[in-house]
Structure 1
Amino acid sequence: MPAAPPLSDAFRTRAFAVQVFALALPAVLALLVFPTPLYDTRELMAWGRHLSWVTPLHPPMMVWIGGAVDWLFGPSSAAAILIGQILLAVGLVYLYAILALVTAPGNAALFTFLFGTSLYTTFAPLSFALNADILQLTPWPAIVFHYLRAARTDRRGHWLAFGFWSGIAVLTKYNAAVLFLGIGTATLAVAPFRAVLRRPGFYLASAVGLVMVAPHALGVLDHHSSVEWGLAHFERAGVAQTLSRLYEYLLGYLICFLPGAVIVVAGLLKRVLAWAPLAAPPARDDVRFLVVMNLTMQAILLGLVLIAGLDYLFRFDAPYAMMAVPALAPLVRWADRTARWFEREVTATIAGLYFAAAVIITVVYTFFASHSGLQEPIAAAAKAIRDDWTSRYRCGPAYIIGGRQGVYGVGIAMPRSVSVIDYHAITGAPWFDPAAVRAGGAVVIDDGPMTPGLLATFLPGLVTTEAKQVTLPLRRTHKAKTITYSYRFAAPQDCGS
């Protein structure tokens, strides 16, 4: 490996502070102007009120974490984002650890910083806090790091950690299978790694992962809606739709690699970065492993989009982009002036860019614009509806039911004893109890003209009151905009003695 400045010079206090600032920025924006969790985050918080190995649509990990955040901090967007960013920070530590195996310490710090301050890691959590794609940024680099170290050292601790993080990844999202296929292909393709298949530690790790996933797998046998939901994302598409999916595929990488890619190109042009010579063994083998792993994953992704018809969204790219970083970073090395450039120009550019963006966003959404989801007055709506309920009934409600957009907002602002579910998730939720709906009563939230008819489909015979409405202004904005909630009550039939 080329000589490099010591890590203390490469990743000083300024760079660390800017990284922390970038990770904290979405939580700060949530505190200032976007206090309400967006729709997916609300859903997983609501489902997290019931500890279950299966959910209506996803593996359970993000629901467990969302439920824990809601239990500790309530339906706070800032809390959900902050917990997610702390988990991301763990993933960045592992990303640095991988990079340190294949490139100089300063280069490892630079590329960790560039990914950790990307547009995706800084701004996507506002909309997708605790989403599975963001959560995979923690276990995926951990899996790869411990696998590389286990392949070199055959230490039991690394094998156990590899198995543990593998189980976490599968319980987070099924796309972990693509990572495992990439690892498997690279293991067979890079000769020094084939010895792994003869080591007991590899099978011990496999057993740990399988034991962790087994309760979920058994649960899916009875409630297989999560698998059906995943398969529903595959459908035949015409040329225009396929091009749209490829656009999403490319857009995700653009968001994940900006502004870092621009900074690297600028560094090469200014000659503060230089093209790197081929790494020396054993790092050379690790680099080859990472390249084959990434090429395999990209081939699988493109096959899923172009052949299997995967309905691809840009946010799916995040863990794949993160895994590409250790394969790309060894292509460049530090020149004599790199440390000074990194510490002064790169950190100042990122800090200035994101500080300006934060000020602009805060001013615009406080005085001139609004966001119906991130500024929705869910607490005020829940209070108004609950006050109306308690004026009529002496117990309940047991459930908040209705259309997805409205039900989870109002629902997570209700007491945690209230279960919350949208119509289409009813059949896939193992915790749903129609008898409890009738005994304790329910609030039915209607999102639009289509949702009232769904009540008879999913809960036939449930009688409700006439619809009422409550209209409230959005939060944290001077833009004059309101949102109207339409709701009905299903009276409780059994309030006890």
Structure 2
Amino acid sequence: MALHVLAWVLAHGIADTNLDGYADMLENFAWGQHWAWGSAKHPPLFAWITGAWFLFLPHLDASYHLLSYLNVALALLGVYKVAQAMGRPDLALPSALLLCLAFPYSTLAVKFNANAILLSAWPWVVLAWVRCVSSQGRAGLVWSVSLGVISALSMLGKYYSGVFLLAVFLSSLASANGRRWFGSYKPWLTLAVFGVCLLPHLMWLQDHAWVTLRYVGEQASDDGVSWRMVLKFAISPLAYWLLPWLLCTWVYAPEATLRQRLSTWPQRLLSSWLPHGWDDTLFWIAMLPWMITLMFGISGFVELSIPWAIPIGYGFSLLWLRNLTQGAVEPNTALSKLRTCFLAWCLLVVLVSPWYAWHQAQNGTPNHYLPRREAAHALLATWQERYPNQTLRWVGGQWAENALLSFYGNPDLRVIPGVPDQFPATVTPLEGWQQQAGLLLCPLGPLNHPEPSTCEADMRAWLTQQGQTPEAIELTIASQGLRFPLHIPFAYIAFAYVPPKP
């Protein structure tokens, strides 16, 4: 886990000059400024984690990348523990090593958001569930409570966890032990703890007109089933987990000649996914999240999104290994090969990162040249020059790119989506904003390819409504240094809100 985290944090430190281009991670940071039980878009867990992280860590991209990959490490540890709990400690390490090569645990994991938090949440739910079913006495009580708490945390990560918890419920029915579990006190204690833990969030939702659930409902399509997205999601297990799947089915083959290994490879590719009867709990817990989601998409109940596939493969490697280690496979030899492949993978990731940085620089990739940190410092310096007697308290404007002022500049600035007296800023309102100086920021994009936006017109109109004359702060900023061989300036326009004199 340490090697995996180190390799990817180092690689992104070399290759990337910014956080994600969609500003998802800046959005998390902005939500993490207040410890509300919800937001206008998502439940609050990953915002809480981001807020707590940056109470202690410096506001650097590397710090954020470290958080992203520590989340992956926690996910891998959960899968490792699940293998042990299911009575297959021999598969614990290889299952985690294989997941290190899957895109959700490697390249995609750098973006810490609502999908990524489920990587670490779901395996621990499965662990608590397996232990709860198999434990008696005091241990059964402890694991029942733990299952309720961790399940609630999973829901507070993203409501999509409801599909996963449904998969756990159905998987419980697959085996005799699982069915007997429903006859004990344990699942009902778990359900009670789950409800108590979610109660504050439900109360928050009720107090805010169920705003988060309304946002979820708005994501549904009114145009019927999107068969293109259904097909994409259907093949997502192969797309996201292709490399470890191919590696697993190649390495875990009976010792034979190269020709024999190649000729039997297709059979192993198929058998790696197959169940061992209807009571195969491992198969159901590994595959049902994908199956249920796919059925929802086919029914038209939701419009599928490919990022939803990010957390679904936590059990894939364990399923493959269980199926492929039934024959004459020497486990120590196979594990040794996996270790070698993993170490080579980590080395390759680091060695490729300088080329990727050069590639982005030479191609003028916008996110590579985006001068977020420089813009934050320049805007704050301009504010100090123009309004030396006004302490800047909040920043509004274009969400969530406006959070750059707080993340890279002044962490005491409260970030507001849009303007402070309109939705969605009113979901978690800033009290007394009328008497606090603010800045309304509108990034305009690269100077030679401006991005279409109504932000500037909207901010001018709002300031006029407040009885203020919009005074624009216009800046053109370009990233400079050895990592930026091209000159690609970006334009920013901002407007000051100055509290009226009493």
Measured against the shorter chain, the TM-score band is 0.7 to 0.9
Tell me, yes or no, if the aligned pair for 1:33 and 1:476 is still in contact at 8 Å: no
Partner of residue 376, structure 2: 382
Q: Distance in 2 between matches of 1:88 and 1:124?
A: 10
Identity %: 16
Deviates more, 1:56-65 or 1:304-313: 304-313
Change (3 A) 1:295 1:384: closer
Change (3 A) 1:403 1:423: same
Partner of residue 321, structure 2: 329
**1:452 Cα offset (Å):** 1.7
Is the aligned partner of 1:143 residue 2:135?
Answer: no
Q: Distance in 1 between matches of 2:157 and 2:232?
A: 25
Q: Deviations over 1:156-207 (max 9, x none)?
A: 1211211111111011000111111112222234232122223223222222
Change (3 A) 1:190 1:458: farther
**1:312 Cα offset (Å):** 2.8
1:124-163 matches, within 5 Å, as 124-126=108-110, 128=111, 130-154=112-136, 155-163=140-148
Tell me, yes or no, if the aligned pair for 2:253 and 2:329 is still in contact at 8 Å: no
Which of 200, 213, 216 aligns to 2:201? It is 216
Partner of residue 246, structure 1: 231
Task: Give the residue type in structure 2 aligned to 1:455.
Answer: M
Q: Distance in 2 between matches of 1:114 and 1:63?
A: 29
Tell me, yes or no, if the aligned pair for 2:435 and 2:499 is still in contact at 8 Å: yes
Which of 439, 442, 452 aligns to 1:442? It is 439
Partner of residue 423, structure 2: 427
Q: Distance in 2 between matches of 1:296 and 1:119?
A: 20
**1:352 Cα offset (Å):** 2.5
Change (3 A) 1:209 1:114: same
Tell me, yes or no, if the aligned pair for 1:395 and 1:495 is still in contact at 8 Å: no
Partner of residue 201, structure 1: 186
Tell me, yes or no, if the aligned pair for 1:375 and 1:475 is still in contact at 8 Å: no
Partner of residue 373, structure 1: 367
Change (3 A) 1:84 1:437: farther
Partner of residue 41, structure 1: 25
Task: Give the residue type in structure 1 aligned to 2:457.
Answer: G
Is the aligned partner of 1:413 residue 2:408?
Answer: yes
1:63-462 matches, within 5 Å, as 63-102=47-86, 104-126=88-110, 128=111, 130-154=112-136, 155-223=140-208, 224-237=210-223, 241-251=226-236, 253-269=237-253, 271=255, 288-308=280-300, 310-333=302-325, 335=328, 337-343=330-336, 345-366=337-358, 368-369=362-363, 371-373=365-367, 376-393=370-387, 394-404=389-399, 406-423=401-418, 427-429=423-425, 430-433=427-430, 435-436=432-433, 439-447=436-444, 448-455=452-459, 461-462=465-466
Task: Give the residue type in structure 2 aligned to 1:120.
Answer: P
Change (3 A) 1:358 1:285: same
Is the aligned partner of 1:485 residue 2:485?
Answer: no
Change (3 A) 1:493 1:358: same
Q: Distance in 2 between matches of 1:131 and 1:123?
A: 14
RMSD: 3.1
Q: In structure 2, the residue corresponding to 1:441 is in which secondary structure?
A: strand
Q: Distance in 1 between matches of 2:385 and 2:439?
A: 15
Task: Give the residue type in structure 1 aligned to 2:217.
Answer: L
Q: Deviations over 1:128-163 (max 9, x none)?
A: 1x2122111222111111111111113212112111
Deviates more, 1:476-485 or 1:180-189: 476-485
Q: Distance in 2 between matches of 1:256 and 1:91?
A: 16
Q: In structure 2, the residue corresponding to 1:443 is in which secondary structure?
A: strand
Tell me, yes or no, if the aligned pair for 1:87 and 1:138 is still in contact at 8 Å: yes
Runs of at least 5 residues in structure 1 that lack an aligned partner in the other structure: 1-18, 279-283
**1:384 Cα offset (Å):** 0.7
Deviates more, 1:266-275 or 1:64-73: 266-275
Which of 460, 466, 472 aligns to 1:466? It is 472
**1:318 Cα offset (Å):** 2.2
Partner of residue 7, structure 1: none
**1:371 Cα offset (Å):** 4.2
Change (3 A) 1:179 1:218: same
Task: Give the residue type in structure 2 aligned to 1:387.
Answer: A
Please identify which structure carries the higher helix content.
1
Q: In structure 2, the residue corresponding to 1:486 is in which secondary structure?
A: strand
Change (3 A) 1:108 1:75: same
Q: Distance in 2 between matches of 1:138 and 1:177?
A: 16
**1:336 Cα offset (Å):** 5.1
Tell me, yes or no, if the aligned pair for 2:46 and 2:113 is still in contact at 8 Å: yes
Q: Distance in 1 between matches of 2:481 and 2:181?
A: 56
Change (3 A) 1:355 1:459: farther
Q: In structure 2, the residue corresponding to 1:234 is in which secondary structure?
A: coil
Task: Give the residue type in structure 2 aligned to 1:428.
Answer: P
Q: Distance in 2 between matches of 1:424 and 1:249?
A: 41
Tell me, yes or no, if the aligned pair for 2:369 and 2:484 is still in contact at 8 Å: no
Change (3 A) 1:449 1:256: closer
Q: Distance in 2 between matches of 1:151 and 1:285?
A: 20
**1:255 Cα offset (Å):** 4.5
Change (3 A) 1:132 1:441: closer
Q: Distance in 2 between matches of 1:424 and 1:225?
A: 18
Q: Distance in 2 between matches of 1:202 and 1:159?
A: 7
Runs of at least 5 residues in structure 2 that lack an aligned partner in the other structure: 445-451
Change (3 A) 1:185 1:30: same
Task: Give the residue type in structure 2 aligned to 1:482.
Answer: I
